[in-house]
C-alpha cells in the first residue's frame, strides 16, 4: 500500500539579497514509498536531499507537483494543504527526525520524549514507561532522565531527539541523518529502531551519510542527481 506518492515536485530558491537571483535545486522529483519500505535519498552534498525532505514535511513549499500522503482515512496533498492541515498531519501521521534537538528550557529529557505520546492521548504513566524504555534502548544514563538536556553532550542530546522522534507510531517517518556523530553502539541502536518501524509497516524516507547504516536499513536508494534542475 502506497503511503507517500511524490509527483513531479520541484524547488528553486529566490535569493532576495542577491537581486532576486533564482537558484534551481531539483525538478521532476517523483517516487512512491509503500508501507514497511525504507527509501534512502542519496547523492552529493547540495544535491537537494534535505530540500526534498523539507517539502514532504511541509516546511518548504514546492514550486510544482503533488505530495500525496495517505493518513489512513484520506489522502492529503501537502503541496496544496493549509498550514492547519499540515499540523494535523504531523500530529497523527507524519514524523520527522532531524539531527538536532530543539531544547526546551527546563523540561526534563523524559518529558520531552514522552510528550508526543501524551499529545496522542496516552496517559502519563504509560507514556513515561515507554519513554523510559526508549531512553534505555538508546543507552542514555538514567541519572540524566529527569534533567533538562540543555547541558547534555551533543551525542546525549541527539539520542533524546531520536527517542522523541521514534516513540510515536506514524505512518510516514522522515529521517535527516539520524545517526550523524553517534558512536557504534548507539548507531546500532538506531538501526534497530528503524528496522522495527519498517517491520511495523511505517513508510520511511531517509538521508544516511553513513553507507553502513544505509545498507542496513534501506530497501533502495534514489540518487537525487537524477532530479537536478536545469
Ligand atoms: N532556505 C534556503 N535558501 C536558499 N538556498 C537554499 C535553502 N535551502 C537549501 N538551499 C540550497 O539548495 C541546495 C540544496 O540544499 P540541500 O540542503 O537540500 O542539499 P543536500 O543534498 O541535503 O546537502 P547536504 O548533503 O550537504 O546536507 C544547496 O545549494 C543549498 O544552498
Residues of the domain holding 57: 2-227
Residue 209 CA, closest ligand 1 atom number:
25
What pLDDT, on the 0 to 100 scale, is given for residue 86? 96
Kindly report the CA angle at 52 between 6 and 43, in degrees rounded to 5? 110
The one-digit pLDDT tens for each residue of the chain (230 residues) are 999 999 999 999 988 888 889 899 999 999 999 999 999 999 999 999 999 999 999 999 999 999 999 999 999 999 999 999 999 999 999 999 987 777 777 899 999 999 999 999 999 999 999 999 999 999 999 999 999 999 899 889 999 999 999 999 999 999 999 888 788 889 999 999 999 999 999 999 999 989 999 999 999 999 999 999 87
Distance CA 15, CA 22 (A): 6
The DSSP 8-state label assigned to residue 182 in this structure reads: -
Cα(26) to centroid(ligand 1), Å: 10
Q: Is 50 in the pocket of ligand 1 (CB under 6 A)?
A: yes
Hey, how many other C-beta atoms are within 10 angstroms of the C-beta on 29? Answer: 27
For ligand 1, mutation pick of 15, 18, 25 (most atoms within 8 Å of CB): 25
Cα(100) to centroid(ligand 1), Å: 17
50: CATH: 3.40.50.300
Distance CA 195, CA 217 (A): 6
Q: What's this model's pTM, rounded to 2 decimal places?
A: 0.94
Helix residue ranges per DSSP H, the chain: 49-57, 83-92, 109-119, 124-137, 154-167, 184-199, 211-217
Number of domains the chain is built from? 1
Handedness of CA 88, 91, 94, 97 (dihedral sign): positive
Amino acid at each position: 500500500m502506497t503511503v507517500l506518492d511524490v509527483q513531479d515536485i520541484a524547488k528553486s530558491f529566490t535569493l532576495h539579497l542577491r537581486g532576486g537571483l533564482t537558484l534551481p535545486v531539483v525538478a521532476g522529483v517523483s517516487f512512491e514509498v509503500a508501507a514497511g519500505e525504507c527509501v534512502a535519498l542519496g547523492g552529493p552534498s547540495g544535491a537537494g536531499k534535505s530540500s526534498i525532505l523539507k517539502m514532504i514535511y511541509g516546511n518548504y513549499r514546492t514550486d510544482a507537483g503533488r505530495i500525496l500522503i495517505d493518513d489512513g482515512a484520506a489522502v492529503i496533498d501537502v503541496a496544496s494543504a493549509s498550514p492547519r492541515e499540515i499540523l494535523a498531519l504531523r500530529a497523527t501521521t507524519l514524523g520527522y527526525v532531524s539531527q538536532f534537538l530543539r531544547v526546551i528550557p527546563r523540561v526534563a529529557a523524559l518529558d520531552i520524549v514522552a510528550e508526543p505520546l501524551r499529545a496522542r492521548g496516552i496517559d502519563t504513566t504509560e507514556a513515561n514507561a515507554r519513554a523510559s524504555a526508549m531512553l534505555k534502548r538508546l543507552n542514555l544514563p538514567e541519572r540524566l532522565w529527569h534533567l533538562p538536556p540543555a547541558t547534555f553532550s551533543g551525542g546525549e542530546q541527539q539520542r533524546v531527539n531520536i527517542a522523541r522522534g521514534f516513540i510515536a507510531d506514524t505512518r510516514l517517518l522522515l529521517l535527516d541523518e539520524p545517526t550523524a556523530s553517534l558512536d557504534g553502539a548507539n548507531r546500532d541502536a538506531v538501526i534497530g529502531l528503524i528496522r522495527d518501524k519498517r517491520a511495523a509497516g511505517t513508510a520511511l524516507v531517509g538521508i544516511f551519510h553513513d553507507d553502513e547504516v544505509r545498507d542496513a536499513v534501506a530497501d533502495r536508494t534514489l540518487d537525487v542527481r537524477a532530479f537536478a534542475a536545469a
